Amino acid sequence: MKRKEFLFFQGGIHPNDCKDRTRLESIQVAPLLDKYTVIVGQNIGAPSKCIVKLGDDVKKGQIIAEAAGFVSAQLHSPTSGTVKRIVTCPNAMGAFVPAIEIVADGNDEWGSPFEPIDDWKTAAPAELKQRVADAGIVGMGGAAFPTHVKLSPPEGAKIDTLIINGAECEPYLTADHRIMLETPEKVIEGAAILGRILGVSKIFIGIENNKKNAIKLLRFKALGTGIKIGGLQVQYPQGAEKQLIYSLTGRKVPVGGLPLEVGCVMQNVASTVAIVDAVVHGRPLIERITTVTGKSVVNPGNWRFKIGTPVAKAIELCGGVSEAPRKVILGGPMMGFAQKTLDVTLTKNSSGILLLSEKETEQYGSDPCIHCGRCVRTCPMNLLPSSISLAVESERFDVAEKQHVAACIECGACSYACPAHRPLTQHCRRAKTALAAQKKALLK
């Protein structure tokens, strides 16, 4: 790519990336556990519907919950064993949701994996897309949006560009970085498979410049493929959909719009590799790479965990902790969610487990807004977070709506920049939740 193709999006911040603890740690494979508690709803959209019952024997890769609609995803057993209980357990957001507890039989035996599609280059795009759906693949960068839906643009939409998100701009997280370093061929092949499904030849892989070894390696592996690797400015939230599209293509997704409106489809690096496993190797999505890190973690690293792995067990596999953490976050510090309990289990979109110490989580009181404008300068969506926040404090959600709170991507940049330590991101999230509830009530 030529330098002129690199653009800088407006706003954003540049926090310490804190990736040194794990960026050099190769991916380790977690040992087979005695049991897994698999949360049933692991995707945006309709939660999948449980199709197993107490006492059922299941095989690795067997469907245990079916997609409940088009915007839904299949769910497969992470190992072979017996369904011990159908329970409720907390998810990453703190809500109690249905889950399937599977006691492993120790064999980790596959059931009937998919037939590999040997020559995907000549396979029909519809066949490849159906395999993605059958494998239960979702956006593994955090959103968990069913991938086959993204690959099904409405009739008339003109998609000409595919973007693979390897930015991994969240501090602390290095799972995608290690995926690119350890399985670069899969990243390139997965991008090519996605290109065939969408019928596009213009493919970009966007990576922040703090991962120069991954940029160099993928550029070498991509020689002759036509896939372009973009080394991008280290600026959070570079990996956000609208910002990455602008950085690589110069196209601006309209407020309230979708990438397809500017001819783009975006997929995460981990999802791209999962597509290769599904198409070429016939394997559904039952595991993912997760970073476990923080000053109190004895041996921080990047691990290949099966879905349904308890957070407490994942921390134990890293040697436990040297001191009790003040906060445990699923995801990164900017967009992740603090956990009330370690009983939560890992899902398809669990990119990280972050343990923060007492010193790293100094508690601040929220002070009145001093109208400094820092939140406005850092907002990558050109919003007025301070004004929205004041409206929310007064419960004037109608005012927040007029100020386009729906466009907030909840990146946390405004809260990070605020010298008064105001919960700006939380206020935006509260406004969106309240407005959605009001609209739902009107439909009844």
Whether the predicted pLDDT of 219 surpasses 50: yes
High-pLDDT (> 70) share of the chain, %: 98
- pLDDT of amino acid 5: 57
- Return all residues near 188 (Cβ < 8 A) that are at least 6 apart: 218, 221, 222, 225, 227
- pLDDT of amino acid 364: 67
- pLDDT of amino acid 175: 98
High-pLDDT (> 90) share of the chain, %: 89
Q: What is the mean pLDDT of the chain?
A: 94
Q: Which amino acid, one-letter code, is at 130? A: Q
pLDDT, tens only, 299-327: 999 999 999 999 999 999 999 999 999 99
Sign of CA dihedral 259, 264, 269, 273: positive
> What does the alpha-carbon distance between residue 356 and residue 359 come to, in Å, rounded to a whole number?
8
Average confidence (pLDDT) over 18-28: 97
Q: How confident is the model at residue 443 (pLDDT cuts 50, 70, 90)?
A: confident
Average confidence (pLDDT) over 396-420: 95
Q: How confident is the model at residue 363 (pLDDT cuts 50, 70, 90)?
A: low
Q: How confident is the model at residue 3 (pLDDT cuts 50, 70, 90)?
A: very low
- What distance lies between CA 439 and its chain's CA centroid? 27
Burial 80-116 (b: 16+ CB within 10 A, else e): bbbbeeeeebbbbeeeeebbbbbebbeeeeeeebbee
Residue 189 backbone phi and psi in degrees, to 5: -65, -40
CB 139, CB 271: distance < 8 Å: yes
Look at 24-33, 192-201, 263-272, 350-359 and tell me which has the smallest mean pLDDT. 350-359
The CA distances from residue 297 to 172, 322, 354, in Å, are 13, 6, 9
Q: How confident is the model at residue 358 (pLDDT cuts 50, 70, 90)?
A: confident
User: Which one is predicted more confidently, 162 or 118?
Assistant: 162
Whether the predicted pLDDT of 189 surpasses 50: yes
> What does the alpha-carbon distance between residue 212 and residue 232 come to, in Å, rounded to a whole number?
10
Average confidence (pLDDT) over 203-210: 97
Sign of CA dihedral 389, 395, 401, 407: positive
Sign of CA dihedral 441, 408, 401, 390: positive
Average confidence (pLDDT) over 433-439: 93
CB 415, CB 405: distance < 8 Å: no
Residue 287 structure tokens: 């595991």
Whether the predicted pLDDT of 110 surpasses 50: yes
Does the predicted TM-score (pTM) go above 0.85? yes
Partners of residue 338 on adjacent β-strands = 329
Greatest Cα-to-Cα distance within the chain, rounded to the nearest angstrom: 62
- pLDDT of amino acid 407: 95
Whether the predicted pLDDT of 62 surpasses 90: yes
Q: Which domains does the chain have, with CATH numbers?
A: 3-22+116-280 (3.40.50.11540), 374-443 (no CATH)
pLDDT, tens only, 242-259: 999 999 999 999 988 899
- Return all residues near 316 (Cβ < 8 A) that are at least 6 apart: none
Whether the predicted pLDDT of 109 surpasses 70: yes
- pLDDT of amino acid 282: 95
316: left (phi over 0), alpha (psi -120 to 50) or beta: alpha
Average confidence (pLDDT) over 165-172: 97
Burial 226-246 (b: 16+ CB within 10 A, else e): ebbbbbbeebbbbbbbbbbbb
- What distance lies between CA 4 and its chain's CA centroid? 29
